[in-house]
């Protein structure tokens, strides 16, 4: 695994836990953790359960005892690491968004297609797909329970930089992050919308804003936050993004992503309205899916609150008795389960690098639309 900060900790938890709770066809071995700082990566490896460490990801790609490379670094390094790993015959799991640009994402997707011919698999880490309530929503849509999808409205609301004195981090640096709220959290909302509907966004009209253009420089520039200094630096990404979307199947979409919504800590919300009913989900109540069946009699009709903790619900049977909720970290364990199972079966896992490329093209179209103040077609 390359990278050991927030995402690295979440992925490490998953690699440790999944083989102990699920009957996997292959047994993952946490061989090597990569980080540039020898002392920090050593401490992280000991804490998170990795056997050895390296300070250069290139040496890991060359190692014969490494079969899979898990990329948990900022977006500016994704393309180089992923392409080198795929060309070396390593399976790859890469955090989202796939890259910082469409060009990088296209090169990564090309490398993944070539590697696939030799049985080498790749996957993008859109873990919210693996929340049981979301996976249940997907099942209901596929069963036709909401009918023809007409409306999709998706939001991802956070507040961790709403304070203008919150210090800079790499997530506010366009060179490292690619974009701000749009790519960091808006990508999740977009992927969920396309995953649940089985449809793709083909046209967008976007609006990006940066509310705070300068911030204190953190003493530790690597994390989500740090101790602020008196020196200030520029914010070079968007603080908030919104866009209208047209889906290929005719549905209308409304999307919003912001890190300036005071009181909203991790409110990933999505609602789908169709010709037969509606679905609604909010990650801040992540074990619940709301479902409205328009065929019910009006005297009793209403949104039904489904607690997605029954063993019949996706992924849940491996965990706790009904009513004992799951948490944020479980999606990462389910990601490991799906990836390892796909590798063992010799099939391509999802979401693929092609899926990640499609998301990247939508994000790019939103950014272009915001700059041009005009609707943009998403390249097929």
Where residue 221 falls among pLDDT bands split at 50, 70, 90? very low
Where residue 247 falls among pLDDT bands split at 50, 70, 90? very high
Average pLDDT of the chain to the nearest whole number: 96
Where residue 227 falls among pLDDT bands split at 50, 70, 90? low
At CA 334, angle to CA 330 and CA 335, rounded to 5? Answer: 115
At 224, which CATH number?
A: 3.30.360.10
What mean pLDDT is predicted for residues 335-352? Answer: 98
Where residue 223 falls among pLDDT bands split at 50, 70, 90? very low
Where residue 104 falls among pLDDT bands split at 50, 70, 90? very high
Lowest pLDDT segment from 46-60, 117-131, 228-242: 228-242
Q: How far out from the chain centre does Cα 375 lie? A: 25
Do strands 240-247 and 149-157 pair parallel, antiparallel, or not at all (unpaired)?
unpaired
E strand or H helix at 124, and its extent?
strand 122-125
Domain span at residue 90? 6-128
Same domain for 60 and 116, yes or no, is yes
Q: Which of 89, 111, 128 is the last residue of a domain?
A: 128
Q: What's the pLDDT tens digit per position in 248-284?
A: 999 999 999 999 999 999 999 999 999 999 999 999 9
The count of structural domains within the chain is: 2
Evaluate whether residue 167 is within a structural domain: yes
What are 206's two structure tokens?
């976007």
Q: What's the pLDDT tens digit per position in 134-177?
A: 999 999 999 999 999 999 999 999 999 999 999 999 999 999 99
What are 266's two structure tokens?
């991790």
Of 234, 242, 200, 194, whose CA–CA distance to 367 is shortest?
242
In angstroms, the CA 376 to CA 46 distance is 48
Q: What's the pLDDT tens digit per position in 178-188?
A: 999 999 999 99
The predicted pLDDT at position 285 comes to 98
Same domain for 124 and 135, yes or no, is no
Q: Is the peptide bond before 375 cis (omega within 30 degrees of 0)?
A: no
Q: Which of 128, 161, 183 is the last residue of a domain?
A: 128
Residue 227 contacts residue 167 (beta carbons within 8 Å): yes
214 in helix, strand or coil?
Answer: strand
Same domain for 123 and 180, yes or no, is no
Per DSSP (E only), the strands in 31-71 are 32-34, 52-54, 68-71
* 77: DSSP letter: G
Residue 122 contacts residue 92 (beta carbons within 8 Å): yes
Same domain for 83 and 114, yes or no, is yes
Same domain for 161 and 146, yes or no, is yes
Same domain for 136 and 232, yes or no, is yes
Evaluate whether residue 216 is within a structural domain: yes
Of 36, 30, 97, 38, whose CA–CA distance to 70 is shortest?
30
Q: What's the pLDDT tens digit per position in 211-220?
A: 999 999 976 5
Of 160, 202, 166, whose CA–CA distance to 185 is shortest?
160
Q: Which of 109, 128, 147 is the last residue of a domain?
A: 128
In angstroms, the CA 136 to CA 154 distance is 17
Evaluate whether residue 355 is within a structural domain: no
Same domain for 154 and 249, yes or no, is yes
Residue 247 contacts residue 153 (beta carbons within 8 Å): no
Same domain for 224 and 112, yes or no, is no
Evaluate whether residue 372 is within a structural domain: no
Same domain for 162 and 241, yes or no, is yes
The predicted pLDDT at position 226 comes to 52
The HSE-up count of residue 242 (CA atoms within 13 Å, CB side) is 6
Same domain for 116 and 134, yes or no, is no
In angstroms, the CA 186 to CA 156 distance is 6
């Amino acid at each position: 695994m390359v990278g050991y900060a927030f995402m690295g900790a979440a992925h490490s938890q998953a690699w440790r836990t999944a083989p102990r709770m699920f009957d996997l066809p292959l047994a993952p071995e946490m061989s090597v953790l990569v980080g540039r700082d020898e002392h920090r990566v050593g401490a992280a490896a000991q804490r998170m359960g990795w056997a050895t460490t390296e300070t250069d990801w290139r040496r890991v790609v060359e190692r014969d005892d490494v079969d899979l490379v898990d990329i948990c670094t900022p977006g500016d390094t994704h393309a180089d690491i992923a392409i080198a790993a795929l060309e070396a015959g390593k399976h790859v799991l890469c955090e989202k968004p796939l890259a910082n640009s469409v060009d990088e994402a296209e090169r990564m997707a090309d490398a993944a297609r070539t590697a696939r011919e030799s049985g080498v698999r790749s996957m993008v880490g859109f873990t919210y797909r693996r929340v049981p309530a979301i996976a249940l929503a997907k099942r209901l849509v596929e069963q036709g329970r909401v009918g023809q999808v007409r409306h999709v409205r998706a939001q991802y609301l956070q507040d961790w930089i709403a304070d203008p004195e919150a210090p800079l981090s790499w997530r506010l640096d366009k060179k490292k992050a690619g974009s701000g709220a749009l790519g960091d959290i808006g990508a999740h909302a977009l992927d969920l919308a396309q995953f649940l509907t089985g449809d793709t966004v083909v046209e967008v009209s976007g609006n990006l804003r940066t509310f705070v253009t300068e911030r204190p420089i953190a003493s530790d520039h690597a994390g989500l936050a740090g101790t602020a200094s008196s020196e200030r630096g520029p914010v070079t990404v968007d603080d908030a993004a919104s866009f209208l979307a047209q889906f290929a199947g005719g549905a209308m979409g409304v999307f919003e992503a912001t890190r300036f919504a005071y009181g909203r800590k991790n409110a990933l919300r999505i609602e789908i309205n169709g010709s037969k009913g509606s679905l609604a989900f909010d990650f801040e109540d992540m074990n619940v899916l709301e479902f409205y069946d328009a065929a019910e009699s009006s005297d009793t009709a209403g949104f039904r609150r489904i607690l997605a903790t029954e063993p019949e619900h996706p992924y849940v049977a491996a965990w706790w008795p009904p009513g004992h909720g799951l948490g944020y970290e479980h999606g990462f364990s389910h990601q490991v389960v799906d990836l390892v199972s796909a590798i063992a079966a010799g099939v391509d896992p999802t979401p693929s690098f092609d899926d990640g490329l499609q998301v990247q093209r939508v994000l790019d179209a939103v950014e272009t639309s915001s700059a041009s103040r005009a609707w943009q077609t998403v390249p097929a």
